[in-house]
Structure 1
Amino acid sequence: MKSLWLMIALASVASVPTFARAAIKPHAPVLQCNDADHARGSCVILPLGGQAVEVANLRLLFVDLEDNRCPLDVDCFWAGYVNTTLVVESPKLGIPLQYVELSLDPREELSHVWVNDAAGLTVILEDVSRTESAENASVSHRGAKVIVGRNLSPSPNL
Protein backbone atom coordinates (compact mmCIF):
# COMPACT_ATOMS: atom_id res chain seq x y z
CA MET A 1 0.00 0.00 0.00
CA LYS A 2 2.87 2.35 0.82
CA SER A 3 4.42 1.69 -2.58
CA LEU A 4 1.11 2.56 -4.27
CA TRP A 5 0.99 5.93 -2.49
CA LEU A 6 4.63 6.52 -3.39
CA MET A 7 3.91 5.85 -7.07
CA ILE A 8 0.89 8.20 -6.98
CA ALA A 9 3.01 10.91 -5.31
CA LEU A 10 5.78 10.57 -7.88
CA ALA A 11 3.28 10.64 -10.77
CA SER A 12 1.71 13.82 -9.43
CA VAL A 13 5.11 15.52 -9.07
CA ALA A 14 5.95 14.69 -12.68
CA SER A 15 2.77 16.40 -13.84
CA VAL A 16 3.48 19.69 -12.03
CA PRO A 17 2.99 22.64 -14.42
CA THR A 18 6.05 24.35 -15.89
CA PHE A 19 5.81 27.33 -13.51
CA ALA A 20 7.28 25.13 -10.77
CA ARG A 21 10.53 24.76 -12.72
CA ALA A 22 13.44 27.13 -12.21
CA ALA A 23 13.10 30.41 -14.06
CA ILE A 24 15.33 30.86 -17.10
CA LYS A 25 17.62 33.82 -16.63
CA PRO A 26 18.10 36.31 -19.47
CA HIS A 27 21.39 36.19 -21.36
CA ALA A 28 23.98 38.88 -20.82
CA PRO A 29 23.58 41.70 -23.32
CA VAL A 30 26.06 41.76 -26.19
CA LEU A 31 28.32 44.80 -26.42
CA GLN A 32 27.67 46.87 -29.54
CA CYS A 33 28.74 50.21 -30.93
CA ASN A 34 25.83 52.40 -32.05
CA ASP A 35 25.51 55.61 -34.07
CA ALA A 36 25.83 57.80 -30.96
CA ASP A 37 29.12 56.07 -30.06
CA HIS A 38 30.51 56.61 -33.56
CA ALA A 39 29.44 60.27 -33.46
CA ARG A 40 31.69 60.74 -30.39
CA GLY A 41 34.74 58.97 -31.82
CA SER A 42 35.93 55.61 -33.06
CA CYS A 43 34.08 52.87 -31.17
CA VAL A 44 35.49 49.35 -30.97
CA ILE A 45 34.78 46.16 -29.02
CA LEU A 46 38.03 44.63 -27.76
CA PRO A 47 37.97 40.90 -26.99
CA LEU A 48 39.78 39.90 -23.80
CA GLY A 49 43.02 38.18 -24.79
CA GLY A 50 42.28 38.72 -28.47
CA GLN A 51 44.26 40.39 -31.20
CA ALA A 52 45.39 44.00 -30.96
CA VAL A 53 43.12 46.46 -32.75
CA GLU A 54 44.31 49.70 -34.35
CA VAL A 55 42.02 52.70 -33.94
CA ALA A 56 42.99 56.28 -34.80
CA ASN A 57 46.66 55.21 -35.17
CA LEU A 58 46.55 53.76 -31.63
CA ARG A 59 47.06 50.02 -31.11
CA LEU A 60 44.86 48.63 -28.30
CA LEU A 61 44.89 45.21 -26.65
CA PHE A 62 42.57 44.09 -23.80
CA VAL A 63 44.77 41.91 -21.55
CA ASP A 64 43.27 41.67 -18.06
CA LEU A 65 39.97 41.90 -16.23
CA GLU A 66 38.87 41.95 -12.60
CA ASP A 67 35.10 41.96 -12.42
CA ASN A 68 33.56 42.57 -9.00
CA ARG A 69 30.15 43.61 -10.29
CA CYS A 70 26.96 41.94 -9.23
CA PRO A 71 26.13 39.07 -11.65
CA LEU A 72 23.09 39.67 -13.86
CA ASP A 73 20.95 37.03 -12.16
CA VAL A 74 21.56 38.23 -8.58
CA ASP A 75 20.00 41.09 -6.62
CA CYS A 76 22.75 43.06 -4.86
CA PHE A 77 22.67 46.11 -2.62
CA TRP A 78 25.83 47.45 -4.34
CA ALA A 79 26.51 47.25 -8.08
CA GLY A 80 30.26 46.74 -7.67
CA TYR A 81 33.05 47.69 -10.06
CA VAL A 82 35.18 46.32 -12.88
CA ASN A 83 38.89 46.93 -13.50
CA THR A 84 40.51 46.38 -16.88
CA THR A 85 44.04 46.53 -18.22
CA LEU A 86 44.68 47.63 -21.80
CA VAL A 87 47.98 47.75 -23.64
CA VAL A 88 48.26 50.90 -25.76
CA GLU A 89 50.96 52.06 -28.15
CA SER A 90 51.46 54.13 -31.27
CA PRO A 91 54.88 54.39 -32.87
CA LYS A 92 53.35 56.80 -35.43
CA LEU A 93 52.22 59.18 -32.66
CA GLY A 94 55.22 58.66 -30.39
CA ILE A 95 53.25 56.79 -27.71
CA PRO A 96 55.42 54.00 -26.27
CA LEU A 97 53.94 50.65 -25.28
CA GLN A 98 52.26 51.02 -21.89
CA TYR A 99 49.76 49.26 -19.66
CA VAL A 100 46.72 51.36 -18.86
CA GLU A 101 44.29 50.51 -16.09
CA LEU A 102 40.72 51.69 -16.63
CA SER A 103 37.80 51.07 -14.27
CA LEU A 104 34.06 51.33 -14.22
CA ASP A 105 33.79 52.27 -10.56
CA PRO A 106 31.15 54.71 -9.30
CA ARG A 107 33.45 55.61 -6.39
CA GLU A 108 36.22 56.96 -8.66
CA GLU A 109 35.46 59.77 -11.07
CA LEU A 110 37.24 59.58 -14.45
CA SER A 111 38.86 56.19 -13.71
CA HIS A 112 37.43 55.06 -17.06
CA VAL A 113 39.40 57.64 -19.09
CA TRP A 114 42.98 57.68 -20.41
CA VAL A 115 44.31 60.83 -22.05
CA ASN A 116 47.56 61.35 -23.93
CA ASP A 117 47.93 65.12 -24.10
CA ALA A 118 50.89 65.07 -26.49
CA ALA A 119 48.94 63.14 -29.15
CA GLY A 120 45.60 64.69 -28.19
CA LEU A 121 44.04 61.22 -27.89
CA THR A 122 41.45 60.05 -25.38
CA VAL A 123 40.41 56.46 -24.66
CA ILE A 124 37.14 55.98 -22.79
CA LEU A 125 36.06 52.65 -21.33
CA GLU A 126 32.30 52.59 -21.93
CA ASP A 127 31.32 49.07 -20.86
CA VAL A 128 32.60 45.55 -20.17
CA SER A 129 30.57 42.46 -20.97
CA ARG A 130 29.01 40.75 -17.98
CA THR A 131 28.56 37.22 -16.74
CA GLU A 132 25.17 35.62 -16.27
CA SER A 133 25.92 34.10 -12.86
CA ALA A 134 28.55 33.87 -10.17
CA GLU A 135 29.21 30.25 -11.17
CA ASN A 136 29.83 31.30 -14.80
CA ALA A 137 32.27 34.10 -14.02
CA SER A 138 35.05 32.92 -16.31
CA VAL A 139 36.82 35.56 -18.34
CA SER A 140 36.46 33.73 -21.64
CA HIS A 141 34.28 35.43 -24.24
CA ARG A 142 34.50 38.77 -22.47
CA GLY A 143 34.92 42.12 -24.18
CA ALA A 144 35.41 45.82 -23.52
CA LYS A 145 33.70 48.63 -25.39
CA VAL A 146 36.00 51.62 -25.83
CA ILE A 147 35.75 54.91 -27.67
CA VAL A 148 38.91 56.52 -29.04
CA GLY A 149 39.11 60.06 -30.33
CA ARG A 150 40.66 63.46 -30.11
CA ASN A 151 39.65 65.80 -27.31
CA LEU A 152 36.68 63.67 -26.21
CA SER A 153 34.65 64.76 -23.24
CA PRO A 154 34.07 61.72 -21.06
CA SER A 155 30.68 60.68 -19.82
CA PRO A 156 30.27 60.23 -16.05
CA ASN A 157 31.66 56.98 -14.65
CA LEU A 158 28.46 55.18 -13.68
Structure 2
Amino acid sequence: MKIKKIKRVIAREGEKMKKAMILSIFLIGAGVSYYFFFLLPSQIEHKLVLECRKLGEKYGENHISPFCSEPEFYYNPKLKKCFYYYSCMTESSRRAFIIDLYTNKRDDGYMIGLRNLSQEEVDKRNEFEDKKRKLFNEK
Protein backbone atom coordinates (compact mmCIF):
# COMPACT_ATOMS: atom_id res chain seq x y z
CA MET A 1 0.00 0.00 0.00
CA LYS A 2 2.73 2.48 0.96
CA ILE A 3 4.72 1.60 -2.17
CA LYS A 4 1.72 2.45 -4.39
CA LYS A 5 1.36 5.84 -2.66
CA ILE A 6 5.07 6.55 -3.09
CA LYS A 7 4.86 5.62 -6.79
CA ARG A 8 1.89 7.98 -7.25
CA VAL A 9 3.72 10.82 -5.52
CA ILE A 10 6.81 10.22 -7.68
CA ALA A 11 4.63 10.11 -10.82
CA ARG A 12 2.92 13.39 -9.86
CA GLU A 13 6.28 15.02 -9.17
CA GLY A 14 7.56 13.70 -12.50
CA GLU A 15 4.61 15.28 -14.31
CA LYS A 16 5.26 18.59 -12.55
CA MET A 17 8.95 18.39 -13.51
CA LYS A 18 8.03 17.64 -17.13
CA LYS A 19 5.70 20.67 -17.25
CA ALA A 20 8.33 22.87 -15.60
CA MET A 21 10.95 21.76 -18.16
CA ILE A 22 8.62 22.43 -21.08
CA LEU A 23 7.77 25.86 -19.66
CA SER A 24 11.44 26.74 -19.08
CA ILE A 25 12.40 25.64 -22.63
CA PHE A 26 9.56 27.76 -24.01
CA LEU A 27 10.67 30.80 -21.97
CA ILE A 28 14.31 30.39 -23.04
CA GLY A 29 13.21 30.09 -26.68
CA ALA A 30 11.07 33.22 -26.35
CA GLY A 31 13.98 35.14 -24.83
CA VAL A 32 16.39 34.07 -27.58
CA SER A 33 13.84 34.94 -30.26
CA TYR A 34 13.22 38.35 -28.71
CA TYR A 35 16.96 39.06 -28.70
CA PHE A 36 17.52 38.05 -32.33
CA PHE A 37 14.37 39.59 -33.79
CA PHE A 38 14.07 42.80 -31.75
CA LEU A 39 17.15 43.78 -29.76
CA LEU A 40 19.92 42.80 -32.20
CA PRO A 41 18.44 44.57 -35.26
CA SER A 42 17.87 47.76 -33.25
CA GLN A 43 21.49 47.65 -32.02
CA ILE A 44 22.74 47.20 -35.59
CA GLU A 45 20.51 50.04 -36.80
CA HIS A 46 21.76 52.24 -33.96
CA LYS A 47 25.37 51.58 -35.07
CA LEU A 48 24.43 52.48 -38.66
CA VAL A 49 22.77 55.68 -37.49
CA LEU A 50 25.92 56.63 -35.57
CA GLU A 51 28.05 55.79 -38.62
CA CYS A 52 25.76 57.91 -40.75
CA ARG A 53 26.06 60.87 -38.38
CA LYS A 54 29.84 60.51 -38.31
CA LEU A 55 30.01 60.49 -42.12
CA GLY A 56 27.62 63.42 -42.25
CA GLU A 57 29.96 65.45 -40.06
CA LYS A 58 32.89 64.39 -42.23
CA TYR A 59 31.20 65.39 -45.47
CA GLY A 60 29.25 68.34 -44.09
CA GLU A 61 30.65 71.84 -43.91
CA ASN A 62 28.44 73.19 -41.14
CA HIS A 63 31.17 72.78 -38.52
CA ILE A 64 33.38 75.22 -40.46
CA SER A 65 30.96 78.12 -40.49
CA PRO A 66 29.19 79.41 -37.37
CA PHE A 67 26.48 80.77 -39.68
CA CYS A 68 25.22 77.31 -40.64
CA SER A 69 22.44 75.50 -38.83
CA GLU A 70 22.70 72.09 -37.25
CA PRO A 71 22.11 69.48 -39.94
CA GLU A 72 18.74 67.80 -40.22
CA PHE A 73 19.14 64.09 -40.55
CA TYR A 74 17.00 61.28 -41.97
CA TYR A 75 17.97 57.61 -42.05
CA ASN A 76 16.40 54.97 -44.30
CA PRO A 77 17.11 51.51 -42.82
CA LYS A 78 15.77 49.67 -45.85
CA LEU A 79 18.25 51.24 -48.25
CA LYS A 80 20.93 51.89 -45.61
CA LYS A 81 21.16 55.50 -46.77
CA CYS A 82 20.89 58.71 -44.88
CA PHE A 83 19.97 62.20 -45.98
CA TYR A 84 21.57 65.32 -44.54
CA TYR A 85 20.77 68.93 -45.15
CA TYR A 86 21.55 72.17 -43.42
CA SER A 87 21.08 75.88 -44.05
CA CYS A 88 23.76 78.55 -44.19
CA MET A 89 22.74 82.17 -43.65
CA THR A 90 25.80 83.53 -45.44
CA GLU A 91 24.94 81.81 -48.69
CA SER A 92 21.16 82.10 -48.27
CA SER A 93 21.02 78.50 -49.40
CA ARG A 94 20.58 74.98 -48.18
CA ARG A 95 23.15 72.27 -48.74
CA ALA A 96 22.11 68.66 -48.97
CA PHE A 97 23.52 65.26 -49.70
CA ILE A 98 22.82 61.56 -49.39
CA ILE A 99 25.33 59.17 -47.83
CA ASP A 100 25.38 55.59 -49.06
CA LEU A 101 26.33 53.37 -46.13
CA TYR A 102 27.35 50.49 -48.40
CA THR A 103 30.15 52.52 -49.95
CA ASN A 104 30.51 55.22 -47.24
CA LYS A 105 30.52 57.84 -49.99
CA ARG A 106 28.65 61.08 -50.38
CA ASP A 107 26.13 60.83 -53.18
CA ASP A 108 25.30 63.91 -55.23
CA GLY A 109 25.88 66.82 -52.87
CA TYR A 110 24.49 70.11 -54.13
CA MET A 111 23.22 73.49 -53.04
CA ILE A 112 19.60 74.63 -53.12
CA GLY A 113 19.90 78.33 -53.71
CA LEU A 114 17.37 81.04 -53.07
CA ARG A 115 18.82 83.14 -55.88
CA ASN A 116 18.41 82.82 -59.65
CA LEU A 117 19.78 79.44 -60.65
CA SER A 118 21.36 78.42 -63.93
CA GLN A 119 19.65 75.66 -65.89
CA GLU A 120 22.42 73.25 -64.90
CA GLU A 121 21.85 73.95 -61.20
CA VAL A 122 18.08 73.56 -61.64
CA ASP A 123 18.59 70.18 -63.37
CA LYS A 124 20.96 69.03 -60.64
CA ARG A 125 18.52 70.13 -57.95
CA ASN A 126 15.58 68.38 -59.63
CA GLU A 127 17.60 65.20 -60.05
CA PHE A 128 18.54 65.27 -56.38
CA GLU A 129 14.95 65.94 -55.30
CA ASP A 130 13.85 62.91 -57.35
CA LYS A 131 16.47 60.77 -55.61
CA LYS A 132 15.39 62.07 -52.23
CA ARG A 133 11.70 61.45 -52.98
CA LYS A 134 12.46 57.91 -54.17
CA LEU A 135 14.62 57.27 -51.12
CA PHE A 136 11.92 58.25 -48.63
CA ASN A 137 8.94 56.84 -50.51
CA GLU A 138 10.50 53.38 -50.16
CA LYS A 139 10.61 53.76 -46.35
Q: Give the TM-score normalised by the residue count of structure 1.
A: 0.31
Q: Which structure ranks higher in relative contact order (CA pairs < 8 Å, sequence separation ≥ 6)? A: 1
Q: Give the TM-score normalised by the residue count of structure 2.
A: 0.34
Question: Computing the radius of gyration over CA atoms, which structure comes out larger, 1 or 2?
Answer: 2
